[in-house]
Chain A
Amino acid sequence: MGGAQFFQYFLSGVATGSIYAIVGIGFNIIYNATGMINFAQGEFLMLGGMMAISLQTFLPLPLAITAAVAATGLLGVAMQIVFLSWLRKPDVLRMIIITIGLSILIREAALHVWDEKVHALAFWTGDETSSLAVLGARLSPQLLWVLVISGLMVAGLTLFFRFTLTGKAMRACASNGTAARLCGIKAPRLVTLSFFIAAAMGALAGCVVSPITQTQYDMGMSLAVKGFTCAVLGGLGNVGAAVAAGILVGVLESASIAVLPLAYKDVVALTIMLAILLVRPQGLFAGIGRKSGPLGQAHGGA
């Protein structure tokens, strides 16, 4: 396989992987804030995409996307306040069932509001035939957008958690809730904020992939599964690791297409993930340089 071919596979693998990573990050943010796994995470991508598609008929594209992201964020907040805020302690079984139920609810609601057809958002730049040449590989400009947006989101989150007061407050809640409350940090508000961030991020990711992977009312489930496995693979709660794990999974999938028949794509990626989890169940990057905290920074005196 020539260099250009290899780079082609690698690039498309990184792009797919970064979407899984975004979903994984969404899982991690909510997990860090609440100890809960939100299985409706994948639906946020679907909602963001669908809303933007509906809005693009009478709004310019950037506005449509912003509106969709904001609306999905608010929906995430509503979801948290109505269904989840009364859960005092994250009882594992309960929260799993509630969030799975929520994902089904959202999916069916989407089916009724929109329809079961496949829709696609307009390409952000160019159209469906645009093709850029990058180091011998040819790809749609939209793929570059995926990489850029994912990178910006991760960078934005890092800066948020590290340098803003609210971000630091969220990290404080995640590492020691009681101490944080004693310092006057209002935990419930931050939990709501975490849902807003996770939902908005998911929506933006949904908008950026929609032109190439299309959006359909039931796309959320498989994305949620892949994103969750990335989150676990990296070590639950470790946002940076979820990114690395996501890219790893994406590249593995791409590599498997090159070597094996396409039919084995999902099998290969899942098998490797299973193998890694059998050997190291706490995740690949667990314990590397941190204890807990939204972005995996070491804290205390370490």
Chain B
Amino acid sequence: MRGRTVFSVALIFALLAAFPGWAADADTVKIGAILSVTGPNANLGTPEARTLQMLVDRANASGGIAGRTVELFLRDSQGDTGKAISFAKELIEEQQVLAIIGPSTSGESMKLKGLCNDSETILLSCAAAETIVNPVAKWVFKVAPKDSFAAQMIFQTMKNMGISRIGVLTSNSGFGQGGKAQIEKLAPESGITVGISEVYDKDATDLTGVLTKIRGENVQAVVNWSTEPAQAIIVKNMKQLGFDVPLFQSHGFGNLAYVAAAGKAAEGLIFPAGRVLVADTLPASNPQKKVLMDYRSAYIGLFKDEPSTFGGHAFDAFTILAEAVSKAGTDRNKVRDSIEEIKGLVGITGIFTFSPADHNGLSMDAFEMLTVKNGRFTPLAP
């Protein structure tokens, strides 16, 4: 009898020891990251993962954030929402992370929004859809600029070019559908008519059929909104069809790898993106120039590869989190409040100013209109 009682008490203690979760672990900062490192969105997730690892290593080498070591739990969701959800549950329940950086895509972010909000885990999404922070969820933040800004910049440029009738192609991913909604909402305000709008499957490999249909509608420009390889395929298909109107891409095009995939066909296409892609052409007076040039040389030095706007999102997410933790410690409520108080933080994507109502912190001038010339990104001549 007594032996059994002792045993059960000992068992209970052992179990308690095995789950130290509620004991506040103030000495390390646990950060989770769910990114699409491989898979169709690898051009987003790979630079994000690399940048994050680079920053964590750098932080730990200089004593961590405010004296606390950073522990990074990186998970590859491959752009799959199912995997993203199960990794999120693992990070929240087992690893008990303070915050999750990512996911890389809008579709996954929307699925994690409710989950993170309910479990009071800070989510710093690297994805673009406006719906991630509108309506605002207390624990959910976004460091990528809004797709509505991107659409507005595109329409502004179109007005300057005298374009009034467009064809719209979007992928059926969360990002594509977010873009489609924004385009259709904002086009009339800029006096632009959407002549035809088609959705393609994110795994599509040949889009000449739908481009033929769009060409038949006598449009003056084509807008494509996706992050998949289809971005490069559409570029090639248009040239093969001899379809010579201006092509506008979304800010999902912000990785030189897409230009490489599209080859010569990419010359002359137009898209809004963060300034990191053209950092060397910025004047010294630009407030972001130093941060951008430092990031560029660090990334190229470590990875022998051009940085992209996506790596910039991971950079900003980590920097914002580090700022908040160094000010507020590791209590998650205080960190969350501290993020909302951030004003004028110079990041890669732009300058961040958060508030309880604004969990994105960016304005339209996070974007610059770029084009492709000789296989490189250059600012679009106004």
Listed in ascending order, the chain A residues whose CB lies under 8 Å from chain B are 1-2, 5, 8-9, 12, 16, 115-118, 120, 127-131, 133, 138-140, 212-214, 219, 253-254, 257-258, 261-263, 265
Contact = CB atoms under 8 A, between A and B. Distances in A.
Contacts of B242: 131, 133, 138
Contact of A129 (B42, B200, B206, B239): B239
A138 B239 CA distance: 10
B265 A262 contact: no
A130 B40 CA distance: 26
Contact of A116 (B39, B206, B265): B39
Contact of B205 (A116, A128, A129, A214): A214
B212 A8 contact: yes
Contact of B265 (A8, A118, A129): A129
Contacts of A263: 172, 199-201
B209 A129 contact: no
A286 B174 CA distance: 45
Interface in B69-111: 78
A9 B209 contact: yes
A9 B213 CA distance: 9
Which size bracket describes the interface of B in this complex?
Answer: 20 to 34
A167 B39 CA distance: 44
Interface of B: 38-40, 42, 78, 172, 198-201, 205-206, 208-210, 212-213, 216, 229, 233, 236, 239-243, 261-265
A117 B216 contact: no
A259 B206 CA distance: 18
Nearest to B209: A257
B212 A127 contact: no
A214 B209 contact: no
B216 A5 contact: yes
29 contacts: A2-B216, A115-B38, A116-B39, A116-B42, A117-B42, A118-B40, A118-B229, A127-B264, A128-B236, A128-B240, A128-B262, A128-B264, A129-B239, A129-B240, A129-B263, A131-B241, A133-B242, A138-B240, A138-B241, A139-B241, A212-B206, A212-B240, A219-B205, A257-B212, A261-B199, A262-B198, A262-B213, A263-B201, A265-B209
Nearest to B216: A5
A139 B206 contact: no
Nearest to B214: A262
Nearest to B207: A262
A219 B42 CA distance: 18
A16 B200 CA distance: 17
A14 to B, nearest CB: 12
Contact of A131 (B210, B229, B240): B240
A283 B51 CA distance: 56
B229 A128 contact: no
B231 to A, nearest CB: 11
Contacts of B265: 128-129
- 4 shortest interchain CB distances as A-B pairs: A140-B240, A138-B242, A129-B239, A257-B209
Contact of A9 (B205, B212, B240): B212
A115 B261 CA distance: 16
Given A12-B208, A128-B262, A116 B241 contact: no
Contacts of A128: 236, 239-240, 262-265
B239 A131 contact: yes
Contacts of B206: 16, 212-213
A117 B232 CA distance: 13
Contacts of A131: 239-242
A124 to B, nearest CB: 14
A114 B338 CA distance: 45
A282 to B, nearest CB: 31
A262 B200 contact: yes
A253 B212 CA distance: 14
B294 to A, nearest CB: 29
B136 to A, nearest CB: 32
Chain A CB within 10 Å, residue with most, of B78, B172, B205? B205
Contacts of A257: 209-210, 212-213
Contacts of A5: 212, 216
Contacts of A265: 209
Contact of B198 (A129, A213, A253, A261): A261
B42 to A, nearest CB: 7
Contacts of A219: 205
A115 B172 CA distance: 24
Q: Among A2, A8, A9, find the residue whose CB has the most chain B CB atoms closer than 10 A.
A: A8
Given A128-B264, A262-B198, A1 B216 contact: yes
Nearest to A254: B209
A263 B261 CA distance: 25
Contacts of B263: 127-129
A203 B206 CA distance: 19
B212 A12 contact: yes
A133 B265 CA distance: 18
Nearest to B204: A262
Nearest to B198: A262
Contacts of A116: 38-39, 42, 78
A204 to B, nearest CB: 18
B174 to A, nearest CB: 16
